[in-house]
Chains A and B, each alone.
Chain A
Amino acid sequence: AQSVTQPDARVTVSEGASLQLRCKYSYSGTPYLFWYVQYPRQGLQLLLKYYSGDPVVQGVNGFEAEFSKSNSSFHLRKASVHWSDSAVYFCVVTGGNNKLTFGQGTVLSVIP
């Protein structure tokens, strides 16, 4: 069975500060990993995805994530956050079996 853990339910950072949102996954095979973002009163949107190759993947709006097989992690990072980044972020894993497993989500609040 596959699973995802986002250990931080809420993260608060100041505008302009750097950000890391943590994600740990469990999957016995080769995982496909995603980060989705949910802005208030909207559906989820894809930020970035990892299938293979370079463990650091770039996404939209300056976000990037780093895959670590040894740590079973896929942490999301941004060098300098903006107030508009305030949202809920979901880490997602799939093994290509048409079923995605979502983490519990991390609520990001950016203080101006």
Chain B
Amino acid sequence: EAAVTQSPRNKVTVTGGNVTLSCRQTNSHNYMYWYRQDTGHGLRLIHYSYGAGNLQIGDVPDGYKATRTTQEDFFLLLELASPSQTSLYFCASSDKISNERLFFGHGTKLSVL
């Protein structure tokens, strides 16, 4: 089964801080996604990518940048973190354009003080 590994598992930073969340997937999936999970909102799509060098804007992109450096690696960047970005972040990957099945990482819990 495909594996998606996120790091770190937990992160605490201060307002205005610089944070990078990392995601690596095996199985050579083309599509990778970053979601945030907040109570009452379910999962909301931040950014996604079709492949190395490609980046697409999701539904809640403000305050976030992303970069897909290789087929395997997808990074989420918060350059000026704010308390509103305190959340649980999930990375996911899929191998079909129809999003038949997403494989999720275990999540990164980010706290911005």
Contact = CB atoms under 8 A, between A and B. Distances in A.
Contacts of B56: 98
Interface stretch (A13-21, A41-49, A63-71, A79-87): A41-49
Contact of B105 (A32, A43, A98, A99): A43
Given A98-B97, A102-B42, A104-B41, A43 B58 contact: no
A4 B59 CA distance: 15
A90 interface: yes
Which of A45, A96, A98, A105 has the most chain B CB within a 10 Å cutoff? Answer: A98
A9 B101 CA distance: 24
B44 A102 contact: yes
Interface of A is mostly: loop
B42 A104 contact: yes
A96 B99 CA distance: 7
Interface in B49-63: 50, 56, 58-59
A95 to B, nearest CB: 10
B90 A99 contact: no
Contacts of A56: none
A4 B107 CA distance: 23
A4 B56 CA distance: 22
A61 B81 CA distance: 41
Contacts of A105: 42
B45 A49 contact: no
14 contacts: A4-B42, A6-B42, A9-B40, A42-B106, A43-B90, A43-B92, A43-B104, A44-B92, A45-B104, A90-B42, A98-B56, A102-B35, A104-B41, A104-B42
Interface of A: 4, 6, 9, 32, 36, 41-46, 49, 90, 94, 96, 98-100, 102-105
